[in-house]
Amino acid sequence: MEANQILFIAIALLTVLSAAMVAFSNKLIHSAFALLATFTGFAMLYVYLSADFLAVTQIVVYVGGILILILFGVLMTHKIYSTTKKTAHNSLIVSLLGGILSAGLILFIISKAPWAPLLAKGFNPTTAIIGKEILTGYLLPFEIISVLLLGALIGAIYIARAEDK
Amino acid sequence: MEPLVQFFYILLPFLRDWPEWLALTVIGIVAALLMFGFVAIFALFAIWLERKVSAHMQDRIGPMEVGGWHGWAQTIADTIKLLVKEDIVPENADRILFKLAPAIVFTAALAGFAVLPWTQDFIPADLNVGLLYILSVSSFAVIGILMGGWASNNKWSLYGAMRSASQMVSYEIPVALALLAVVMNAGTLSMRHLVMAQSGNILDWNVFNFFPLTAVAFIIYFVASLAEVNRTPFDLPEGESELVGGFHTEYSGMRFAFFFLGEYANMYVVSAIATTVFLGGWLPPFEFLSFIPGPIWFVGKAMTMVFIQMWLRWTLPRLRVDQLMYTCWKVLTPFSFAIILLIGLWKVI
């Protein structure tokens, strides 16, 4: 096995195991902190695919923004010390059926998907290309997203300051 | 090929005969250990300097006994004391997270060293997105601080961690915007190319570019970076009069030492970013001084910034929480937006 593959398996294990911890951990706060490893694993996978800008943006947005918001939400939960995750107990047959069906669906898609072989290209910088594409070919989605975010920002401020009235 | 790998290949020619992955791994580990050694020695020196600076500013003389000359061995003695101290984990603490938190904070601080350009040839990793990378790894420190504050199971720790996190998240915005003003002009995020774009004499440094616009961006960056590393006047997260010790109240011994080491490493990292982006990195101020090697200029400039941080610590009183948020959102952020707009206008005209 090549060193490259060992590295990939290590990254994949980190991502999948920490994601499993997010889902199965008994304490809410442990789930939230396990997300840190999952997001880092994602960023590593992007580096592995030589998408450097995407990897760094992933860390800035998910670890620096979303994870901190999630943590603040969890820390401000009432009686967090004694809260355990309450998993709903649905009937075994229905959940088993649902699980098998979605697993079959995913397997079907995997078997049909045209997997691209690992590109043999070198580690080319992507930042400049991404910048140009966003401001030329994908300008409309970019502008729509920025308007959407502005709306979310104003809405959040409105909700947060509602008590003043 | 990475400049660092080339540097090692020239230094140790037998590495070429090894399989590539083994050579790269060895070089990576050696570089990481070098950086760790630098952080440790820097922290020893900086803590001693901080004590001397604070003492002289308060008309005292500071440590004088240990080691003989002006108490130079005081921090070494303190480190040994910390190493042999009992390692206390509070009974109701979350043991795993409590032990993990100092490691994450220190890793985040050390990871920043990966892209610092010491000279043209010695830069551990000349990433194409270097500046963005350094900003992104600093967000790991926030998670580590929140982790430590929560896991300690102590209200002062939690308050300190929350304050620290909200402060660091808010001040990331003026930091990024102030750096963007320079990046927009240089057209690169690579730390090495940012410095190379400033070659010439002192007037070619970015801080004097578009005078006085980037000079203001530099001041904004410096003020916001003080808040990023929780230094006075933004040290509310560890305000001892209200929060005992902030997020590291419950930590003792080696784990406390690692928080401290991370804090001093961060001081150096933000100073080194300021040096790289605004003050010409390893370049000498005048051409005739270029016989002095690059690393000396780089470390010297960064240490000057560190000294200014200490100077401010013993000069300014601590801000209140509302003043902290006011400074960030109503002063620094609008001004940095204005600078970006004005530099854009200047470039178009």
pLDDT in tens, A100-130: 999 999 999 988 887 766 655 666 777 888 8
Q: What is the pLDDT of residue A108?
A: 92
Residue that has been written with the tokens 């730390």 in this structure? B191
Contact assignment for A60 to B137 by CB distance below 8 Å: no
Tell me how far CA of residue B83 lies from CA of B46, B251, B253, in angstroms. 19, 13, 6
Query: What is the structure's pLDDT at A144?
Result: 94
Instruction: Tell me what pLDDT residue A121 has.
Output: 60
How do residues B140-178 score in pLDDT, each as one tens digit?
A: 888 888 888 888 888 888 888 888 888 888 888 899 898
**Looking at residues B198-221, what average pLDDT do you find?**
82
Distance from CA of B314 to the nearest CA of A (A): 31
pLDDT score, position A103: 94
Listed residue (B196, B22, B225, B42) closest to B126, CA to CA: B196
How open is the CA angle B198-B46-B252, to the nearest 5 degrees? 130
- Cα(B62)–Cα(B71) distance, integer angstroms: 8
CATH number for region A1-84? 1.20.120.1200
For residue B287, how many C-alpha atoms fall within 13 Å in the half-sphere facing its CB? Answer: 2
More confident residue, A163 or B340: B340
Does any domain span residue B56?
A: no
Average per-residue pLDDT for chain A: 82
Residue B310 to residue B299: CA distance in whole angstroms: 16
Residue B32 banded pLDDT, cuts 50, 70, 90: confident
Give the SS3 label for residue B17.
helix
Distances (CA, A) of A71 to A67, A157, A164, B98: 6, 20, 27, 16
Residue A81: band (very low, low, confident or very high) from pLDDT cuts 50, 70, 90: low
Question: A80 pLDDT exceeds 70?
Answer: no
**Sign of the CA dihedral running A78, A84, A85, A86:** negative
Return the pLDDT at B165: 84
Q: Which residues pair with B9 in a beta bridge?
A: none
Residue A86's Cβ-count burial label (10 Å; 0-12, 13-18, 19+) is exposed
**How many domains does the structure of chain B reveal?**
1
B141: chain A residues, CB-CB within 8 Å: none
Asked if pLDDT for residue A152 goes beyond 90, the answer is yes
| B132/A56 CB distance under 8 A | yes
Of A63, A67, A127, the CB nearest to B129: A127
* Residue B62 resides in a domain: no
Note down the domain range covering B309.
89-348
CB B292 within 8 A of CB B284: yes
Q: What is the pLDDT of residue A89?
A: 63
**What pLDDT score was predicted for residue B1?**
53
DSSP 8-state assignment for residue A80: T
Chain A positions touching B150 (Cβ under 8 A) are 29, 75
CB atoms within 10 A of CB B38: 17
| Amino acid present at B255 | R
Residue B195 forms part of a structural domain: yes
Average pLDDT over residues B213-241: 82
Confidence band of A141 (pLDDT split at 50, 70, 90): very high
Whether B57 contacts B314, CB under 8 Å: yes
Predicted pLDDT of residue B81: 85
Which of A27, A36, A127 is nearest residue B143 as measured by Cβ atoms?
A36
**B253, B82 contact by CB (below 8 A):** yes
A89-99 pLDDT per residue, tens: 667 888 889 99
What pLDDT was estimated at residue B206? 78
As given in the structure block, the two tokens for residue A111 are 């078997």
Asked if the structure places residue B136 within a domain, the reply is yes
Residue entry with tokens 């401290």: B260
Residue of B nearest to A61 (CA): B136
What separation in angstroms does the CA of B61 have from each of B64, B107, B133?
Answer: 7, 35, 41
Report pLDDT digits (tens) over B234-292.
Answer: 777 776 677 777 777 778 778 888 888 888 888 899 999 998 888 887 888 777 777 77
Q: Shortest CA distance to B145 belongs to which of B252, B284, B263, B43?
A: B263
Q: Read off the pLDDT of each residue in A136-152 and give the average, rounded to a whole number.
A: 92
Asked if residue B336 has pLDDT above 60, the reply is yes
Residue of B96, B127, B135 lying closest to A60 (CB–CB): B135
Token pair 């990576």 is found at: B28
